[in-house]
Structure 1
């Protein structure tokens, strides 16, 4: 769900030394000519509008298709990001200097303009592609806790160039989508108006755009894989259960990094945050508060949104703005939909980092006793739980720091007496448990593969923290090769580096595990760690979704 560390992707540009092939970086869409930018063997077409601007009366409404393109358009720069929620970063005094540097100079170097008029799409292609190439397509959905982020932070040219090197060329697509309150407003009023989960609806509209136009770039609309990390991975998972599993032929495979179908309840569960924005914008006395929110000045609405809980505020992963069951697009708790078999029947890959919860436990360093830990979990994650369930939770996630996250680090990294405990709980509750539940439910019904990333375990206090696996894709790692193979053949095995990746089944729950070990950088392990604890979390969250 959740904030993607912008690991160097937005900070460095890697140039390829390849010789450009003789192809102009232009493409015709409808009656318009779009001109892109060519670098080496890759051409980029950036900032193409894919839906009507969600401004004015279109604010808080479903995305509307773009009219036919006309004229000559320069497509050489990313469009503005969608409105971002303001960043509030807890940097405790005890956090080591290099960890602070890692966070501040990667995660929060988000210097890009934002605007309500933000629904644009980007296409990166081999320069050798023609309208008859029929290349497979990967569609990237960025993460950011459904509160911030932009595709401009990720260089899709690196993926395309690597695919060319492997002899398996692909096309890379990324899009902006509405986030925070602009994209995930939730309340009874929103449900009644049928405008829930607008950020997911934007993504869906972008996928429809791909079906209509990707052929002009040399892509095959029947060979689309959706791929995301964090909130982007959760988005991918939710597209698999949206419309009760009817994916409308928009994709044929899915690749998820740190995100699965999450246990969220009815969209009315977000009423508290909706009411807060209504009050702060002066819309409380309006007979139609949603219509009033459409009319308030952007700056007023943005300020009200910024004042709602952020992913690194105290409640952390109990997010204010998150996809919820709206009764139409998401007809139920996503995990209930998985249980009912309402899942798109496509091959998928999913996995997590070993220490998903550490980054999100920096905002709760004042939780230092078992009593405070219990109260925190009861308040934000398990509000309907019984005392017996809370007692079980304390047993499964003890105060023994040697059992906490970063896992396998013994007495090290204990920023506070409860830090590693909270990190273990949050990482399992939000990431590991939903992933394992999804895999076990779908095993034998569709082809699945799973992974665990234990790299960067030496990161001070944070270990193999959330989003570190992104480096393994964008910068020529084995994961990138597996992705390219999967996009081409719906199987991660094939060209490039890595070991044979066996499928995941309930009888043999294989995990390809990425290690820091130079001798054995990849191994096959079994998805059985913390079995009782994760089973317990799954039962509790299924019964009491957020």
Structure 2
């Protein structure tokens, strides 16, 4: 099932700019790491240290290898600007002519307008902290992992000053950290060759190395290495969930809590399932016929490799959330498919929060508007998501997700938003299989074993055709919005509650409560996580039997 990487697609939103401005006349902040001095930038009530290398550049023979720790810092370095993003996969977003202007404007302003200068030398980390912090402050740390379908994105899109300033305002200051990680083929190359060399899931390994850097250095910025919360959206949230599963659930002391927006352990299969994409890359780079194709790919000129990667399907291609490049079971970082690791109890026993947007699948269904009949939906599900499933299994799925547009996504919009007779149906299936069903499965499996909370964002429901679209909940936290307070309090107290916000009850199978974010005069309410129960259960069953 496309389910895994797709969610990753995390909407790439335009940079969020803090209301603060560089502090005129203020001395530039400095921090000492090893024998080096880093010079940052004062920005209102916060200090920023941006673009700090946290690992050796993954270039030359280090391409397609595990990240190597950075050398000790020496000398003086100015770190006032974000480093380049890791290589981005070319993406074309399908915008149908029939899409209302409001929806077009939303997509253009959140995806097309985001520009990410990229480079293979990209493994940098950013730290934003209260200007008053000192090496003895021991503040909680929130470590942000951005989304983008494991294909695109970067840290420069998100302004951590928004989070830090809000934490100061509510009297619970935190340190904000964000890191780059390798993407697409550079970070998630998948094949038998990759498996045998033990170099799968390099993007996740980069994140893990960044978390080790935090343990070693965050105290110098005023952070407490024992109080790290990992947090992400879409691909970033999926990444967070997989850090909970790796290493038998042992965190190695790298973090103590997790916060996931639109991403849970996904039903991906063995890393060898990516063989066709690997073989195509090998062919397009001229490495076919060599005795060691992986070593050949390390030596291919960057532009040649990038051009070959860009020919692989993107997250907005016809196959949508069945991504070409995404995390898979590699025998090292993931010893089994994620949902089976959850069943086996290979989960870090720490507090976590996970939630979704109501209409996760709409964005990813714009590429399949040529599917207009029941037969075409059946053929699509069989060819793309469930190639090893029987016709009876697919028919049962389509009985649970019928063609009545009133039942489809955007949910609760009646007969509106039907771009085609099957659009809302496909949007419902894709959103549930990749995001909603895996989230509920994860929560149900961990009920009673650790403290968990869950949410549902139903904001922007009136956005034509898209509704409460994937990625829209980022506005709730980087806005700043009301989710920011819950995040900060969770990172500080391991409980999101406090202050004047609505009390957020824990999630258990006996009381599956969702903090639900709404538009209008009542911004939050508590609702039960019981909707589409038969569909979720069956999708999970299919995912376990037929992982992508």
Partner of 2:11: 5
- CA RMSD after TM alignment: 1.3
2: distance between equivalents of 1:5 and 1:311?
Answer: 11
1: distance between equivalents of 2:88 and 2:311?
Answer: 12
Partner of 1:328: 332
By how many angstroms is 1:387 displaced?
1.5
By how many angstroms is 1:21 displaced?
12
Are 2:341 and 1:337 equivalent residues in the alignment? yes
Partner of 2:175: 171
Partner of 1:502: 505
Instruction: Choose the corresponding residue for 1:373, options 371, 377, 384.
Output: 377
Partner of 1:45: 49
The answer to whether the Cα contact below 8 Å between 1:20 and 1:41 also exists between their aligned partners in 2 is no
Are 2:361 and 1:357 equivalent residues in the alignment? yes
Instruction: Choose the corresponding residue for 1:123, options 114, 123, 127.
Output: 127
Are 2:121 and 1:85 equivalent residues in the alignment? no
Does the residue aligned with 2:8 lie in a helix, a strand or coil?
Answer: coil
Cα deviation per residue 1:435-458 (whole Å; 9 max; x = unaligned)? Answer: 000000001000000000000001
Partner of 2:519: 516
Partner of 1:540: 542
Q: Return closer, same or farther for 1:19/1:289 CA change in 2, 3 Å cut-off.
A: closer
The answer to whether the Cα contact below 8 Å between 1:18 and 1:41 also exists between their aligned partners in 2 is no
The answer to whether the Cα contact below 8 Å between 2:23 and 2:42 also exists between their aligned partners in 1 is no
Q: Return closer, same or farther for 1:355/1:284 CA change in 2, 3 Å cut-off.
A: same
2: distance between equivalents of 1:189 and 1:18?
Answer: 49
2: distance between equivalents of 1:73 and 1:421?
Answer: 54
2: distance between equivalents of 1:20 and 1:350?
Answer: 40
Partner of 2:3: none
By how many angstroms is 1:19 displaced?
8.1
Partner of 1:526: 528
1: distance between equivalents of 2:297 and 2:525?
Answer: 52
2: distance between equivalents of 1:462 and 1:498?
Answer: 28
By how many angstroms is 1:140 displaced?
0.1
Runs of 4+ in 1 over 3 A off after TM superposition: 17-24
Higher relative contact order (Cα pairs below 8 Å, separated by 6+ residues) = 2
Partner of 1:185: 189
2: distance between equivalents of 1:88 and 1:228?
Answer: 24
Instruction: Choose the corresponding residue for 1:32, options 29, 36, 41.
Output: 36
The answer to whether the Cα contact below 8 Å between 1:225 and 1:487 also exists between their aligned partners in 2 is yes
Partner of 1:239: 243
For residues 48-447 of structure 1, the aligned pairs below 5 Å read 48-447=52-451
The answer to whether the Cα contact below 8 Å between 2:12 and 2:147 also exists between their aligned partners in 1 is no
1: distance between equivalents of 2:298 and 2:385?
Answer: 31
2: distance between equivalents of 1:320 and 1:414?
Answer: 28
2: distance between equivalents of 1:483 and 1:65?
Answer: 30
By how many angstroms is 1:89 displaced?
1.2
The count of aligned residue pairs is 542
2: distance between equivalents of 1:229 and 1:174?
Answer: 12
By how many angstroms is 1:462 displaced?
0.2
1: distance between equivalents of 2:292 and 2:314?
Answer: 27
Unaligned runs of 5+ in 2: 1-6
Partner of 2:489: 485
**TM-score where L is the length of structure 2:** 0.97
Does the residue aligned with 1:529 lie in a helix, a strand or coil?
Answer: coil
By how many angstroms is 1:23 displaced?
7.2
**TM-score where L is the length of structure 1:** 0.98
Partner of 1:458: 462
The answer to whether the Cα contact below 8 Å between 2:116 and 2:153 also exists between their aligned partners in 1 is no
The answer to whether the Cα contact below 8 Å between 2:21 and 2:43 also exists between their aligned partners in 1 is no
